[in-house]
């Protein structure tokens, strides 16, 4: 498998200093096949500077920011957590983007399934892996499994996980094991599209 640049965009309320992304980035960086590049949106940089919460920038602006970060001369995988995943799906037209990996795709706002975001997956130009917790309140198994997803989308369900990939005690997995499994699923899937 060739070496890829892995671009990772954060979720709407927590940046790359979230415990989830810190652990995931450390695990991804252990794999010599990946060059990990965090994508931090300007609104999040302002939150980190000021310590005051604010909403994300307009969506089109976030897509433009992500697009500007990607080196178009090297094979790239666009990744994201939640909001970052939604943004990544809108950048698949870029040269040398080979795939998208979503860690917890926000299929709908919590409690508002009628306002679903399936249209964000309609114009994908490359394969897309969505790793989703079965208990995710922004896209649980029962609802998503009833939807007609595009052929380029592969769903990978994480049993007992919520939107932040916190799992039920009955799974007997600790957070480190969960993160290792997420990285393994991503790496194994990327080998299939190489």
**Strand spans (E) along the chain:** 4-9, 34-39, 76-81, 97-103, 128-133, 153-158
d(CA 30, CA 69): 22
Q: Does the pTM exceed 0.85?
A: yes
Which residues share a beta bridge with 97?
76
Q: Report the 10 Å Cβ neighbour count for 18.
A: 15
CA dihedral (84, 34, 129, 77) in degrees, to 10, reads: 60
Running DSSP on this structure, what letter comes out for residue 161?
B
Tally of domains within the chain: 1
pLDDT of the residue at 18:
86
d(CA 53, CA 152): 36
pLDDT of the residue at 89:
97
pLDDT of the residue at 194:
60
Q: Report the 10 Å Cβ neighbour count for 26.
A: 12
pLDDT of the residue at 101:
98
CATH number of the structural domain spanning residue 166: 3.40.50.1820
Running DSSP on this structure, what letter comes out for residue 108?
S
Token representation of residue 127: 């394969």
Residues of the chain below pLDDT 50: none
Q: Which domain holds residue 153?
A: 4-193
């Amino acid at each position: 498998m060739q070496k890829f640049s892995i671009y990772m965009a954060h979720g709407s309320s927590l940046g790359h200093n979230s415990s989830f992304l810190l652990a995931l980035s450390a695990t991804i960086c252990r794999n010599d096949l990946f060059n990990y590049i965090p994508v931090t949106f300007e609104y999040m940089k302002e939150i980190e500077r000021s310590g005051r919460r604010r909403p994300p920038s307009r969506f089109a602006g976030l897509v433009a920011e992500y697009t500007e970060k990607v080196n178009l001369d090297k094979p790239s995988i666009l990744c994201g957590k939640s909001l970052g995943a939604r943004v990544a799906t809108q950048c698949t037209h870029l040269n040398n983007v080979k795939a998208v990996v979503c860690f917890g795709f926000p299929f709908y706002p919590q409690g508002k399934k009628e306002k679903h975001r399936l249209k964000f997956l309609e114009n994908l130009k490359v394969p897309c892996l969505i790793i989703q917790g079965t208990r995710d309140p922004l896209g649980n198994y029962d609802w998503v499994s009833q939807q007609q997803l595009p052929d380029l989308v592969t769903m990978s369900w994480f049993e007992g996980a919520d939107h932040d990939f916190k799992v039920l005690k009955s799974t007997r997995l600790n957070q480190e094991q969960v993160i290792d499994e997420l990285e393994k699923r991503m790496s194994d899937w990327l080998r299939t599209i190489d």
